[in-house]
Structure 1
């Protein structure tokens, strides 16, 4: 009996040991092979790092649920259906909702259904390569917003011929998806609807969806068939995924969490501005790099047609080698029979060989010259299209102007062939590279992503106007390159980054910015915008005023930059822009309704910049509660409840500057009026900031400051005293009130 019990105890210990060994081995087993971890959900394969349930996934971001709804098995990430996962491409296919705007005759009203997706704090981001923003309808203006962008388009059937498969504004329009977005929400402009055309065109649609899955059909604008075609309002969306928001260098420092565990696997850094990494199998291997031994050698000799032609192919780890059968030799990668040399007289053979070489060189030279002529002709066509001849003639007439037309080769040399190491910034309109011209001049070269046909025709004329801008607080446009498909712009290089990074960068160890410095930067920026609005030969509207478009030079003097969104003030209504673009948080609400950019749109955006300078907060904070997402709403609420001090930047509290702050607050409120007509001009804004900064920059207690003291009517004897009486503060307060009222 005792022997039986001993045997049972021994078996129990063995079982426990085997269980422990199994538990230790589990992390190295792909999800589909782990106990209880299925390799698929319905028709969808679930490769690791994804898994059904948290135990089966690499981490919670890759956890999926497998559910059965109405007899159909679906894989879900949160509440979004997953239809396909690709490990080699690091992509995932999902089904998301579309937005609708339909007229209901029964209620005689428009009905709206808005779509949104939020991948914030997940491994996913929306693929700008695989998706498009699509708007369908006969009177539809729709757009999507994200943390940094507002972009959309206008679709109409009026005076237009609709064609199946064509989506260029007639019944259907589309726009590119911005890079690096994890969140979007779709909106319709309610001024454009189907109230008057509902009998023939009941609905408008807007979807951010996979472009390969969409082809326009004219029936989409005549009924509700578009919503029914895509599985009751669900459209396919392609998202990229990353393992962690770390670079490969950072990820390798913690091998316990490093995901590229297979031998013959490589770590790949994200190509976007948002850090992150994923894994891939090395060249010559395929499989899953996220599991041990997941990358297997590719047998090139069996997988493809014999890469050695008629030769002998031998597979090697990660590659292959070729050899020839006896009687053959390798020539240019092919096996050819060995030819016995006939006995010909040497001189004719040598002569024929030399002649052949000369002939080949001549033909190659002629082909090279032909290609060069062809390339030169293409460059000349681009030069003419972009108004280069007009610009060149104007430059000749002015003689000695600083504006220059650069060649493509010059800018390639300056930027090391547009190397990624030279990138200093990305924007909605292009990428900016740091360059070094011959002579050691540092420049910023902007490569724009696209240009409209209308803009091509007007580009030369606009360059003439922009080249004449001469203001110390506007980034100088030094020249342009016109011999490429999309022109490149060359600006002076400004070294100290942007106002956005000065205010928001490195919150715990950031540089202290006094109120005087903030007012100085605000005044310089306002003065530059006032100059653009009223002192140039043709008024210039910036169109994208924000703290990241205000650069700081070596002395931290402000320089307004990025005219990628700028337009020359239109002469008639037909010239107004009808595609909404800009930066969320700074956009003029009046512009969002009318799509008409005015000088007062820049004033509104500048008002938001003033709020940033006052509070040190960003215009939008999507992670905050709903009533705190918008800095404007937080500011207005604090003003109404007399709690302004609670939201002011700690760096400017307690500087005995309450009166000055009140002046800036009133100015910001005036700039942020909902009605553009009630806002001041940029000239008025600059004048008021100038008066405020002069007082703040020259302390009252300093001697020899008679000019500043006389500005407020205070006796110099009082100002120079080390002990200032209550009478002094009374005079100071009254003077500031006069200053704020403009007297």
Structure 2
């Protein structure tokens, strides 16, 4: 298929349809099961229940387009449905940007896709591609931003390239699991020269089925968006489930809904979308239909289920047997042999016994060899990740509380990494709760990938991170190096995240002093990483979900094990854009270079969450209200800060001056230019001073006692506040506090 551009403007709203083609096939229940050449198996249907399952997302529409019957789910054309594998194939289009030479302007096709609650994109069958010369594009999903940079070694690249990133095409070969929404975006810094636009006027980005993609350069020279013909669409594979977020046990015991696995010889399973049904081994068909799972006749499919030699195959329910003709017997190897006299039987028996002994000896030798091979592989991984260097350094540095765990220890601690032990999903892997043999509760981070440079430096970085010791930073207890991708072991924090405290489904009151303490402790932790660690450590993913809370709401900054050590080479760049949308430093998006001021920007967004109790990025909000930082900066500019503040704190008159101070600090952190932002040390100092003043009202303190509270940076003289250090409280707060005296 020639892949041209355009993704579809499709919202996955699966609408019902009453129009059924007269030529469509009807099953024995009177339901239509074909639309054109596409089979429509139950639980899907073209008519309401009982022809489809009692769920609006499985009700499809068969419509005539140009005299051809086509199947639609909402506005998406469906080309194939698999009930046994719970997958659906649909046609989509790509997001695009093209340069119109007649108007000397760039035009865009910014398309997006939102799936129903029972459908997700298949992480195993799809990938992200970017097409065009000097095109930096990315796909925004529910919680991820994934993309790549496509360049051209030549002005007009070669036809049928391999999509390596330098031939007009780049690709990201994995998708996060459970994605129900995505949208394509382009970085305007790239492909801005007329020379490039004249040769390759268009760029594209989309999610596409892996098996259907073949790189071609035809799309690069087009001057306008494609039309709506089928050959210009891109196939995408989706996984579906009967009900999202429901376990098999819940599905079987729920009295309000019918259990969908109604066929004999079927069972319940789960995929990324929810609970589904499967036919048992030895059976095939549709598990959602009574008697839909039928026995596989293995004797007909002899190539897949062979009986050796002259053996006779007999089909049995769910299996098959092999027997010998009259006058022959089955040998230990499963081959039919003619019966001979007793002398020959003795010889055969002796030979068989010897063969069994030989096979057992070979099997034992094989198992020993495999164990040795596995040991060598573990040793190889251990050395690749710098384990020997780390072990030597640990022996030379007495008192280092850091342990190198074996894979077996972590498997036992987490129940062999059981799904029920998963307590978090990160951009690079999963986090499991575990209990060591000593009874210590831990959090085990199991990453998905690691690049070659990280492999070489991993042991060295672990030694540095193991020495991080701060009361507000989650302690890194150890790591496992004998696996392909190293695993990290942290102390377990029991009371959830700051995100859950602020945005969880509860009505818990959070006073200003508690919010200020959480902000102050988080800032102190980041300032420690930036200023006190040697070498300095950049967190790289500061957000409310990475700020954990223990039982008394003491702050613990987490995920610093995935931090980036501050690079000594300032020219080091990152070409793959990936991070948490809403917290990303805009300067990093432009330069692809992470600095300590990137952490300052992200912390500024966390301050806004504490003040407003709103999420950092709201996908469902209006276009100009999606980003919390943009809403805040506009409110500050228009002097309407109180419109976005949390009612719990803004209605307290005593909080006004402190809120304005915190808001001003957040504005400084959100400066577009990094050099204009304060350092984390300066942010922590100011939050600490504001906290001290809030804890000790001026109405009950004399000037001498206030001086002792604020330290050397302030002094109270003749009833007024005077700054004697490098940082001072604004005149407005000073005046307000003076009035309260």
TM-score between the two structures when normalised by the length of structure 1 = 0.83
d(CA) in 2 for partners of 1:285, 1:218: 45
Name the counterpart of 2:143: 148
Aligned residues: 690
Q: Is the 8 A contact 1:481 1:487 kept in 2?
A: yes
- Give the drift of 1:288: 2.2
For 1:334-733, list aligned pairs within 5 A.
334=334, 336-337=336-337, 342=342, 360=359, 362-508=361-507, 511-563=508-560, 566-639=563-636, 644-655=641-652, 656-698=654-696, 707=705, 711=709
After TM superposition, the structure 1 = structure 2 runs for residues 728-739 of structure 1, keeping only pairs within 5 Å, are 734=734
Residues 611, 645 of structure 2: 8 Å contact kept? yes
2:44 aligned residue: 50
Q: CA RMSD of the aligned region, Å?
A: 3.8
CA offset digits 1:56-93 (Å, max 9, x no partner): 54332123222233344322222221111111111111
Gaps of 5+ in 2: 1-23, 720-730
The answer on 1:41 being equivalent to 2:35 is yes
Equivalent runs, 1:241-256 vs 2, <5 Å: 241-247=240-246, 248-254=248-254
SS in 2 for 1:33: coil
* C-alpha spacing 1:411/1:738, structure 2 compared with 1 (3 Å): farther
CA–CA distance in 2 between the matches of 1:31 and 1:658?
71
1:345–1:47 CA distance, 2 compared to 1 (3 A): closer
The equivalent residue for 2:123 is 128
State how 1:267-306 maps to structure 2 within 5 Å.
268=268, 270-272=270-272, 276-305=274-303
The Cα of 1:563 is off from its aligned counterpart by: 3.4
Instruction: Tell me by how many angstroms 1:621 deviates.
Output: 2.6
Residue in 1 aligned with 2:190?
Answer: 192
Q: Aligned to 1:85, which of 81, 85, 89? A: 81
Partners of 2:266 and 2:640 in 1: how far apart? 54
Cα distance in 1 for partners of 2:427, 2:614 equals 22
Aligned equivalents of 1:133 and 1:588: distance in 2? 23
Q: What secondary structure does 2:526 align onto?
A: helix
SS at match of 2:415: coil
How far the C-alpha of 1:470 sits from its partner, in A, is 1.9
Deviates more, 1:311-320 or 1:546-555: 311-320
Say whether the 8 Å CA contact 2:327–2:339 is kept in structure 1: no
CA distance in 2, matches of 1:258, 1:31: 27
Aligned-residue offset at 1:585 = 1.4
Cα distance in 2 for residues equivalent to 1:147 and 1:211 = 21
Distance 1:406 1:646, change over 3 A: same
Mark the CA change 1:626 to 1:373 in structure 2 (over 3 Å): closer, same or farther. Answer: same
Contact 1:31-1:50 at 8 Å conserved across structures: no
Contact 2:264 2:290 (C-alpha < 8 Å) held by counterparts: no
Instruction: Provide the residue aligned with 2:239 in structure 1.
Output: 240
Partners of 1:501 and 1:158 in 2: how far apart? 47
2 CA distance for matches of 1:417 and 1:638?
A: 50
How far residue 130 of structure 1 moved from its aligned partner, in angstroms, is 0.6
Task: Render the CA deviation track for 1:330-367: whole Å, top value 9, x for unaligned.
Answer: 55583634756745999x99999997776555544433
SS of 1:52 mapped into structure 2: coil
Change (3 A) 1:684 1:738: farther
Name the counterpart of 1:257: 257
8 Å CA contact retained: 2:429, 2:445: yes
Larger displacement relative to structure 2 (157-166 or 469-478): 157-166
| Partner of residue 723, structure 1 | none
Tell which deviates more after alignment, 664-673 or 85-94: 664-673
* Shift, 1:575, TM fit: 1.6
User: SS of 2:251's equivalent?
Assistant: helix
Residues 178, 375 of structure 1: alpha-carbon distance in 2 compared, 3 angstrom cutoff: same
1:25: which partner in 2? Answer: none
From 164, 168, 180, the equivalent of 2:164 is 168
Q: Secondary structure at the match of 2:560?
A: coil
Paired residues of 2:698 and 2:738 also in contact (CA < 8 A): no
Aligned to 2:108: 112
The residue aligned with 2:11 is: none
Give 1:123 deviation, angstroms: 2.3
Moved more, 60-69 or 78-87: 60-69
| TM-aligned CA distance change 1:652 to 1:283, over 3 Å | farther
CA drift at 1:547: 0.7
Q: How many Å separate the matches in 2 of 1:676 and 1:576?
A: 16
Change (3 A) 1:354 1:293: closer
